[in-house]
């Protein structure tokens, strides 16, 4: 399976010319964080709508993952989800779009032993999640299915846990907030992970033949950069 993976969008429109056609790929995955940018794109709302339209047109061929910046607008009145970059002037528009299209987004995607989430899943967090969601685990067919099912329950807030590496106070980070070093030190056994969330100047591949590989893909440069060659990940699974 040939897959195209975009790191955090943050209102950038460079994904569109790269993805001029989905014909060359079996799956296109967006790693979340579609909104909030230091560059304050005036077309941010339209850009988000264009990504959602792509999902509606191609269905399961396109995977839209949730990011922490997206959740602060989906649950705009819940201060627990608030993070940097919040845009009061666009909050209502973002909230309406995410709310009306919530069913098109998911927390995790899995292909064989490759797990795709916004920030990554550590062993400590997965153990914590299983401990508090054993009934959901019994109904799950794989890890991604388990994570997505938990996302439909009141325990969805657990994904927003934030550990010390991200200046939080929780015992570990949830899949919306996992830090790079936190994931490297405590990644899941038997799984390769593809994550965004932590900015890199270029895509970083951590691991090797004798350990599970982590792809850090939050490396999408702006339209004014000349780094298109390191903006996205093409992977064959």
- In sequence order, the 6+-apart residues with CB closer than 8 A to the CB of 232 are 4, 5, 6, 7, 15, 18, 203, 217, 220
Lowest-confidence pick of 8-12, 57-61, 97-101, 218-222: 218-222
Task: With cut-offs at 50, 70 and 90, classify the pLDDT of residue 222.
Answer: low
CA pair distance 84, 202, nearest whole angstrom: 22
Lowest-confidence pick of 139-143, 193-197, 205-209: 205-209
Walk across the sheet containing 114-116 and list its strands. Answer: 109-111, 114-116, 192-195, 211-216, 204-208
Question: pLDDT at residue 229 above 70?
Answer: no
Task: With cut-offs at 50, 70 and 90, classify the pLDDT of residue 96.
Answer: very high
User: How many domains, in total, are found in the chain?
Assistant: 1
- Mean of the pLDDT values across residues 103-119? 97
Instruction: Provide the percentage of residues in the chain whose pLDDT is more than 90.
Output: 78
Note the pLDDT tens digit of each residue in 42-82.
899 999 999 999 999 999 999 999 999 999 999 999 999 99
Instruction: Provide the percentage of residues in the chain whose pLDDT is more than 70.
Output: 94
Question: pLDDT at residue 203 above 60?
Answer: yes
Closest CA to 162 of 150, 153, 173: 173
| The model's pTM | 0.94
Domain with residue 43: its CATH number is 3.60.21.10
- Mean of the pLDDT values across residues 211-233? 75
Buried b (16+ CB within 10 A) or exposed e, 33-63: bbbbbeeebeebbebbeebbebbeeeeeebb
Task: With cut-offs at 50, 70 and 90, classify the pLDDT of residue 153.
Answer: very high
- In sequence order, the 6+-apart residues with CB closer than 8 A to the CB of 225 are none
Domain that holds residue 226: 2-236
């Amino acid at each position: 399976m040939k897959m195209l993976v975009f790191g955090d969008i943050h209102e950038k429109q460079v994904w569109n010319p790269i993805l001029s056609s989905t014909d060359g790929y079996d799956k296109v995955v967006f790693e979340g964080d579609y909104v909030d940018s230091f560059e304050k794109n005036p077309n941010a709302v339209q850009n988000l709508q264009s990504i959602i339209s792509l999902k509606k047109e191609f269905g399961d061929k396109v995977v839209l993952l949730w990011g922490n910046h997206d959740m602060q607008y989906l649950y705009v009145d819940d201060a627990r989800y608030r993070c940097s970059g919040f845009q009061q002037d666009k909050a209502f528009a973002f909230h309406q779009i995410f709310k009306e299209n919530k069913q098109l987004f998911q927390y995790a995607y899995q292909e064989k032993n490759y797990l795709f989430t916004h920030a990554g899943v550590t062993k400590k967090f997965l153990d914590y999640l299983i401990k508090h969601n054993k009934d959901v685990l019994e109904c799950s067919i794989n890890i991604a299915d388990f994570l997505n099912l938990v996302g439909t329950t009141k325990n969805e807030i657990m994904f927003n846990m934030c550990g010390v590496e991200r200046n939080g106070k929780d015992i570990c980070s949830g899949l919306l907030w996992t830090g790079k070093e936190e994931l490297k030190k405590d990644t899941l056994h038997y799984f390769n992970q593809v994550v965004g969330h932590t900015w890199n100047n270029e895509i970083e591949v951590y691991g090797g033949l004798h350990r599970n590989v982590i792809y850090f893909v939050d490396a999408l440069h702006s339209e004014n950069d000349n780094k298109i060659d390191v903006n996205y990940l093409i992977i064959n699974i």
